[in-house]
Amino acid sequence: MALKQLDDEQITVSASLVKVTSTKLVSTGGVTQGIILINFQHVSGGLIRVNSKTDPAADGSVGFQKSVGDEWQVAGFDDMVNFQMIKETSESDATIMCQFFGAP
């Protein structure tokens, strides 16, 4: 199945856990938006931690480390809804570009 980019957003990752905007995945009326996967790109700033199963930790003890230039994808509704990011302690805020893909 071919995918089409349906939406995008830029997220600033700071000292608090952050997720993608919830209405990108489910409308305010409770209807899913047909997003199949999200592509993330770390475009600037410090190191961050990411995870969709357990809250990532700023101290680096939990989650996967991402740095400028890294790209990754998250697929599966539960993982997309639960995916969170946080900057590592003593790092600068990071900018993450997100692209949302679904069926055309």
For 43-95, the pLDDT digits (tens) are: 999 999 999 988 999 998 899 999 999 999 999 999 999 999 999 999 999 99
- Average pLDDT rounded to a whole number, residues 22-39: 94
| CA 8 centroid distance within chain | 11
The confidence band for 97, taking pLDDT boundaries of 50, 70 and 90, is: very high
**Could you list the residue range(s) of the whole structural domain that residue 11 is in?**
4-102
82, containing H or E segment: helix 77-82
Q: Do 43 and 96 form a contact (C-beta atoms < 8 A)?
A: yes
Neighbours of 76 (CB within 10 A): 12
Domain containing 12 — which CATH number? 2.60.120
Q: Residue 103 has what pLDDT?
A: 86
Q: Residue 19 has what pLDDT?
A: 96
Q: How many domains are there within the chain?
A: 1
